[in-house]
Amino acid sequence: MIVGIDLGTTNSLVAYYSEEGPRIIPNRLGKNLTPSVVSVDEEGNVYVGETALERMSLYPDSVALAFKRSMGSGREYTLSGKKYKPEELSGLVLRALKEDAETYLGEEVTEAVISVPAYFDDQRRKATKRAGELAGLKVERMISEPTAAAIAYGLYEKKEDTRFLVFDLGGGTFDVSILELFHNILEVRAVAGDNYLGGEDFTRVLEKICMNKMGITADALSAKDEVRLYRHAEAAKREINDKEEVTVECLLQEEMKSAKVTAKEFEAACEDLLQKIRQPVKRSLSDAGLSLSDIDEVVLIGGATRLQIFRDFFIRLFRKFPDTSIHPDEAVALGAAVQAAMKERREEVREMILTDVCSFTLGTEVVMEYGDGMVENGHYSPIIERNTVIPTSKTDRFYTARDNQDKVCIRILQGESRFARNNLYLGELEIDVPKAKKGEEAVDVTYTYDINSLLEVEVKVVSTGEKKKMVIKGAQNTMTEEEIARRMEELSYLKVQLRDQEENRLALLKAERMYEESLGDRRSSLEHGIRKFEEALRKGERAEADEARKELYRIMEDD
């Protein structure tokens, strides 16, 4: 038996395909949602779901939650003195869902289609697969959460010839995906998102408002106090949807404290979070080459989309009402169940062809030579750009960078930064080349990326025909998303004298951001403008730098 599983940051669900269509399987408590929370006591007993959630108030040091955000990062959680990786904790949640499904269905569950955020990179997807294997599940196929939701809306509801914008704001991750359904083909056109934005962040905002009104600081709270206040803030967040004002009252520091929070106060405090939502929406539309008027339906999924302040913001942003005909917490699991039925080739399910996209750009490190003869290492050359429909294969040619060079090393990278060091290292492949003057020998580098997130890299020496290849199955990089972000902020141009000027720093920062958000010719134009500006700054001529900066702005403003 194959089931569909939505492994969520806050809650998880399991579903199967019945004669009446996809159905959610209730857990051992008779509820559809199982909190993605794990607790381990001193004796090694494991608690999952609501039980673990309840233990959190009493034994906060024995409980882990929101670990999906750290999947594939190498982070460890300590529960009752023992350490667990995020995929191990996720495996415990999956095992509980598997047991619930087997009890409900009366048969063994051997395989699952598990959903993942569309913006999960290869490393996180591999960690999710390992979690399934730890739970005793065969995981041959994963499906992006927005694609699963689109299946639920498109196939289950029999809607065709539709362009969806699927807006997925869950407990800990945010995805926006644009998909097109035509006959029996569901094509992902573009994805964007933020692995560190979700409903939990809105709860933290409300929690902070309460602390300010109560006159207490986070440092002054015990671990139990922190848990208690968070849970009351979470409950108040749900209440505030239907009220103009809520009262948060709980025992903190051995004293009953209370705070009244109005809906307007909460909305104002959440403005920064709401603004963070705009950029991935714009990026996905830009990458897909579409405008909002080209979108037929906007679908909301994820529990956080039920927040009234979010709904109001959404309507202002999109100027249309979303489709919420399927429960936002259940759409992904239902779609995963339909996908599971497709995999089983169930007769009652119409076969659908699914296409996906490469969520992040794949490329290699190169040397750049400027007009004044200066050579600079460490630049990034994209080979397969983000949101390219997969499976895909692309070849680029690279030339030797120095005289008598006898080896070429292709460093395989994933990311959007112009600088190699800021992108995720996946591996490298080295090949011998005949000695010659620089630029006379070349290698053809072919990247082939498939639907199962496997990257094959082939390097061929043009003059000799010698080839080497390797398959990247996901690097065991222990760097977290936060560490990568911090490195991206360490901009190398700060060492150049003129770049200390605020206007030059601002121009380069804006251009770098737009470069990462652009593709194709637009990205090339920005690259040219940035290089010209950097070259002017390097010379130290103020007038030339000013003119190059103006030209760069003209490129940025050119639609």
Strand runs labelled E in 75-216: 77-79, 82-84, 111-116, 138-144, 162-169, 174-182, 185-194
Q: Which of 87, 122, 168, 516 is catalytic?
A: 168
| CA–CA–CA angle 512, 278, 299 (5° rounding) | 135
Distance CA 523, CA 416 (A): 11
- The amino acid present at 275, given as its one-letter code, is Q
Q: Dmax of the chain from CA atoms?
A: 79
Active-site annotation holds for 68? yes
Non-local (6+) Cβ contacts of 546 within 8 A are none
Helix (H) or strand (E) holding 379: strand 375-384
Beta bridge partners of 424: 414
Active-site annotation holds for 6? yes
How far lies 526's CA from each of 489, 516, 536, 554, in Å? 19, 10, 15, 10
Q: Do β-strands 138-144 and 111-116 pair in parallel, antiparallel, or remain unpaired?
A: parallel
Q: Which of 121, 145, 175, 385 is catalytic?
A: 145
- For the chain, helix, strand, coil in percent to 5 are 40, 30, 30
DSSP 8-state code for residue 440: S
Distance CA 502, CA 507 (A): 9
- What is the separation of C-alpha 511 from the centre of its chain, rounded to a whole number of angstroms? 23
Rounded to the nearest 10 degrees, what angle do helices 502-517 and 271-288 cross at? 60
Strand runs labelled E in 91-149: 111-116, 138-144
Non-local (6+) Cβ contacts of 189 within 8 A are 163, 178, 179, 180, 287, 288, 290, 357, 387
Active-site annotation holds for 521? no
For residue 508, the SS3 value is helix
Q: Do β-strands 2-6 and 11-18 pair in parallel, antiparallel, or remain unpaired?
A: antiparallel
Beta bridge partners of 260: 247
Beta bridge partners of 97: none
CB atoms within 10 A of CB 349: 20
Is the peptide bond preceding residue 391 cis, with omega within 30 degrees of 0?
yes
Distance CA 256, CA 311 (A): 33
Active-site annotation holds for 100? no
Non-local (6+) Cβ contacts of 404 within 8 A are 435, 436
**Catalytic positions, please?**
6, 68, 145, 168
